[in-house]
Structure 1
Amino acid sequence: MAAGRLWGVGVGPGDPELVTVKAARLIGAAEVIAYHCARHGRSNARRCAAPYLRGDQIEEQLVYPITVETTDHPGGYRGALDDFYAEAAARLAAHLDAGRDVVVLAEGDPFFYGSYMHLHERLAHRYRTEVVAGVTSMAAAAAALGRPLVERDEVLTVLPGTLAPEQLARRLADTDAAAVLKLGRTFTAVRDAAETAGVLDRLHYVERVSSDAQRAEPLASVDPASVPYFSLALLPSPLAASTMDREAVAQRQPSTGHGEVVVVGLGPAGRPWLTPEVQEALAGASDLVGYGPYLDRVPPNARQRRHPSDNRVEAERAAYALDLAHAGARVAVVSSGDPGVFAMASAVLEVACEPRWKDVPVRVLPGLTAAQAVASRVGAPLGHDYCVLSLSDRLKPWDVIASRLASAAAADLVLAIYNPASRSRTWQVAAARDLLLEHRAPDTPVVLGRDVGGAGERITVLRLAELDPSLVDMRTLLLVGSSQTRLVERGDGNRVVFTPRRYPA
């Protein structure tokens, strides 16, 4: 018969909900549950594990012969405990030899001042053994206080309260942060050591952490007579404390106007197209400003304020964002694609250069452009020189657009054409096609990309002479090849469009 398996399972500091998922699973599956307790029979470890017990398991109660009292054992206190651990290990070994898996419950973490380690030393070399870490009392205490233990290069020192007072004082004075465990009867000595070390005013007291009976207060105000064994002293990070104090003061002060505007590109569609830099800026913003449908692409966050507006009020939107930042807000102005390509970056900067807002910081973070996204779907049509232009005549006259189209076509540049049509602009696509045909062959490859990355994505590849305006709307981007752009069907049947890097001499 194969021997059973020994598990040392940490059940955390007191709250059954702080038991890990793995610990709960093992507790529910084991045939034998063992736990330590004093002679009164109560066990904090078993109380933590109680919700995960089946009710039909063998329970081995390991009752300490002594706790803090004296003993007449020939080996003294240590000898009495050594005998106890040897006898407890033998009891568990009998179950393991019979093929039963044994879970030993350990309050907090099994290897952090835990009794389980004494059984581990006696059994781990004989049986398959695994230790499951648990939440320590000092970690739970830091969480309860809302004070970080350490950060950056700070040093954390863990001390037993049973150390000599002069050692405690020296170690407390020499460290950045500390946790002092095993208080109880040592409390007065620990308090005196903290006063000698000059840290008493920074020391916190926590008892029965994470339980219904939890108490936390400055250690200097605690009555020594009220201190139980399950208590500790915590000296949290001085760096974090300093920062938190400054932040608390800042929250009480009126805004000094140290906000900023960050103009970000969302890319052509959802989160997979966002850069990590843009995601960080969006997460850190207090206010989001932008065209309504673009704002809808940013997941809602209850702490953030949203300011949607119409697509035709770019200057007003920019001024509103700058006013928010001037009052201290961290504003993200969102654009589709890249904010510097027919989008909000230039509008914000133009307004920001006016005297009223000249001191408001403005940053621009790039995004993946629609031209890049559409090109990637068919291959590499933008592999050589190309020109980006907009067919919208809302901000520039058609004569200028037509002149630029003709110049780009005559220069044999690949064209990426934005804003080709809208509900009120329906004739420009045909006009642009006819103009381009004066300079390009009828079979020049043209790529129509609509809603790339979205649910309505559609990619169409056709000849320039076949370009039908009815296939084009405001959400479509056109890529028109140069004389060198190729449309090739590969062995798998897929067609690719690319423009070679080399141009004929």
Structure 2
Amino acid sequence: MAEPYLRDGQIEERLMYPVTTETVDHPGGYDGAMADFYRDSAELLAAHLAAGRDVVLLAEGDPLFFSSYMHMHKRLAQRFPTEIVPGVTSVSGASAALGIPLVEGEENLVVLPGTAPDEELVEHLASGSAIAVLKLGRTFERVRAALERAGRLDEAWYVERATTDRQRVARLAEVDPSTVPYFSMVVVPGAINNPLAAAPAPASRGGVTVVGLGPGPTRQQTPEVRAALAAATDLVGYTTYLARVTARPGQQVHASDNRVESQRAEFALDLARRGRRVVVVSSGDPGVFAMATAVAEVAAEPDYADVAVQVLPGVTAASAVAAAFGAPLGHDLALISLSDRLKPWTVIEQRVRAAVGADLVLAIYNPGSASRNHQVADLKALLSELVSPDRVVLLGRDVGGPGEALTATTLGEFDPSVVDMRTLVIVGSSTTTVAQRPGGRLVFTPRRYDS
């Protein structure tokens, strides 16, 4: 490519780096071989620079855009004067080859390497207005599958060896994976100009996915959950939980009251039966006192036998609160909801007595609300009959959120009035220990019992 511009007397150094398709005999594997290559290449160029020579390092596309040059830059730019001459990126070249405006107005562009993990691919492919995916070749089938999961396959174009005399453009869905070289790209122009954007998704893609957002911040969501949220056509859930989700353009949001779980599940399944990709949103883990059971109960009815249902786990409140204190759930435990909206208090009392009698740690969900605030006091009174006042009690409120509050106390000192619906209560077993350390408090329940 550069040969026509070279002249006699110039020194040419060919930097031949290992490629992923080669067998690498290195104790550090391929990564170790690449690290050695970059180190050795940098020192080779440094020797020329130290000798007063001007060195030009060639890169395809732009030198700081997914380019090998950046590895030399990080090793040499602090030692020698450096000038970077910008180039035309592969994204620009592929877009020009396609001949369709890539982004317009308020549309955004997401650029991804095809080597990204599957769930990250799906999440970003679903959320971007326009998309470019580089580094295809052996990753092509994974990327194609991710586009299909994200509902974007029918909008995607394939561009191969853009701006060369071997350039090729095709609809991605029609490309034979065995023909795809490394120098190829997926391009999904924004919907404003993409003639494929209006292609309808087949109705067979409909289904319901129930997800857990975790107890609070987005960082506690799993990549699998984020990908499902991004790929959905419809988001269904309690108003407060949907407020924690940023809907992408085109998604339909269906919010409802917290006391209509069965109706919400039926609504979601009806949408899915019409070919919609529906995500039902819960906080925490959807299978722990949350929406997964409501959806499963309705989906078990004959009318919905043909609707696909999937449940994706989330971080449940007990795990988040326990982690904030240390390891209080390190041994056998019971999860009990104090809500008596769907079961009588006599059942709750019976289960608390049984769990305490077995010396289990208790994680208490749904301790109280604006319309239901006596249960926590009733729980304290019940526990006071069963265990000593020095039993460890832990309170975690809004864990991971801006209002996070952690309190380690004892049953005797425990004040039920400070507990609300956003609080999870952990009642320790007879062996739960609060250790005071120089770095702070650490609570744990030993895994072993004294013999």
Instruction: Give the Cα separation in 2 of the matches to 1:268 and 1:107.
Output: 46
Summarize deviations over 1:431-467 as a string: whole Å, max 9, x none. Answer: 1112112221110010011111111111111111122
Structure 1 pair 487/151, CA: closer, same or farther in 2 (3 Å)?
A: closer
2:169 is matched with 236
Match of 1:139 among 79, 91, 94: 94
Structure 1 pair 436/179, CA: closer, same or farther in 2 (3 Å)?
A: closer
1:340 deviates by: 0.4
Summarize deviations over 1:154-209 as a string: whole Å, max 9, x none. Answer: 99xxxxxxxxxxxxxxxxxxxx955674xxxxxxxxxxxxxxxxxxxxxxxxxxxx
Instruction: Give the Cα separation in 1 of the matches to 2:95 and 2:222.
Output: 36
Whichever residue aligns with residue 400 of structure 1, its letter is: V
The answer as to 2:238 corresponding to 1:324 is no
1:372 is matched with 319
Across the aligned residues of Structure 1 and Structure 2, the Cα RMSD in angstroms comes to 4.0
* Contact in 2 for aligned 1:337/1:368 (Cα 8 Å): yes
* Contact in 2 for aligned 1:257/1:325 (Cα 8 Å): no
Instruction: Give the Cα separation in 2 of the matches to 1:178 and 1:149.
Output: 12
Instruction: Give the Cα separation in 2 of the matches to 1:319 and 1:475.
Output: 27
Gaps of 5+ in 1: 1-9, 11-77, 88-98, 111-126, 156-175, 182-231
Match of 2:206 among 244, 247, 259: 259
1:274 deviates by: 0.5
Instruction: Give the Cα separation in 2 of the matches to 1:412 and 1:420.
Output: 21
1:393 is matched with 340
* Contact in 2 for aligned 1:445/1:497 (Cα 8 Å): no
Summarize deviations over 1:113-137 as a string: whole Å, max 9, x none. Answer: xxxxxxxxxxxxxx98866462268
1:238 deviates by: 6.9
1:68 is matched with none
The answer as to 2:401 corresponding to 1:446 is no
1:241 deviates by: 4.3
Match of 1:498 among 420, 440, 444: 444
3-state SS of paired residue (1:400): helix
Summarize deviations over 1:239-268 as a string: whole Å, max 9, x none. Answer: 554599xx9899556853530111001000
Summarize deviations over 1:319-368 as a string: whole Å, max 9, x none. Answer: 11111111111111110000000000000010011111111100001000
Structure 1 pair 154/498, CA: closer, same or farther in 2 (3 Å)?
A: closer
Structure 1 pair 149/449, CA: closer, same or farther in 2 (3 Å)?
A: closer
Which 10-residue stretch deviates more, 145-154 or 319-328?
145-154
Structure 1 pair 388/129, CA: closer, same or farther in 2 (3 Å)?
A: closer
Instruction: Give the Cα separation in 2 of the matches to 1:441 and 1:449.
Output: 22
Q: What does 1:51-450 correspond to in 2, within 5 Å?
A: 132=85, 134-135=87-88, 138-145=93-100, 151-153=136-138, 181=164, 234-236=167-169, 240-242=173-175, 256-450=203-397
Whichever residue aligns with residue 468 of structure 1, its letter is: D
Q: What does 1:1-12 correspond to in 2, within 5 Å?
A: none
Instruction: Give the Cα separation in 2 of the matches to 1:418 and 1:148.
Output: 44
* Contact in 2 for aligned 1:142/1:148 (Cα 8 Å): no
* Contact in 1 for aligned 2:380/2:416 (Cα 8 Å): no
* Contact in 2 for aligned 1:289/1:331 (Cα 8 Å): yes
2:109 is matched with none
3-state SS of paired residue (2:448): coil
1:495 deviates by: 2.2
Instruction: Give the Cα separation in 2 of the matches to 1:460 and 1:368.
Output: 21
* Contact in 2 for aligned 1:448/1:476 (Cα 8 Å): yes
1:168 is matched with none
Instruction: Give the Cα separation in 1 of the matches to 2:350 and 2:446.
Output: 27
Structure 1 pair 236/151, CA: closer, same or farther in 2 (3 Å)?
A: farther
Matched length: 329
Structure 1 pair 446/279, CA: closer, same or farther in 2 (3 Å)?
A: same
Summarize deviations over 1:251-300 as a string: whole Å, max 9, x none. Answer: 55685353011100100001111011111111111111100110011123
Instruction: Give the Cα separation in 1 of the matches to 2:135 and 2:369.
Output: 58
1:25 is matched with none
Q: What does 1:19-38 correspond to in 2, within 5 Å?
A: none
1:234 deviates by: 3.0
1:465 is matched with 412
* Contact in 2 for aligned 1:385/1:413 (Cα 8 Å): yes
Q: TM-score under structure 2 normalisation?
A: 0.64
3-state SS of paired residue (1:443): coil
Instruction: Give the Cα separation in 2 of the matches to 1:424 and 1:179.
Output: 64
Q: Percent identity?
A: 54
1:504 deviates by: 3.0
* Contact in 1 for aligned 2:203/2:276 (Cα 8 Å): no
Summarize deviations over 1:395-427 as a string: whole Å, max 9, x none. Answer: 000110111111111111100001111122222
1:151 deviates by: 4.4
Structure 1 pair 280/109, CA: closer, same or farther in 2 (3 Å)?
A: closer
Structure 1 pair 102/265, CA: closer, same or farther in 2 (3 Å)?
A: same
Whichever residue aligns with residue 94 of structure 2, its letter is: A
Gaps of 5+ in 2: 10-51, 64-79, 103-131, 141-158, 177-185, 187-193
* Contact in 2 for aligned 1:154/1:237 (Cα 8 Å): no
Whichever residue aligns with residue 134 of structure 1, its letter is: G
Whichever residue aligns with residue 412 of structure 2, its letter is: A
* Contact in 2 for aligned 1:390/1:420 (Cα 8 Å): yes
Instruction: Give the Cα separation in 2 of the matches to 1:128 and 1:472.
Output: 62
* Contact in 2 for aligned 1:446/1:463 (Cα 8 Å): yes
3-state SS of paired residue (2:99): helix
Instruction: Give the Cα separation in 2 of the matches to 1:463 and 1:419.
Output: 20
Q: TM-score under structure 1 normalisation?
A: 0.57
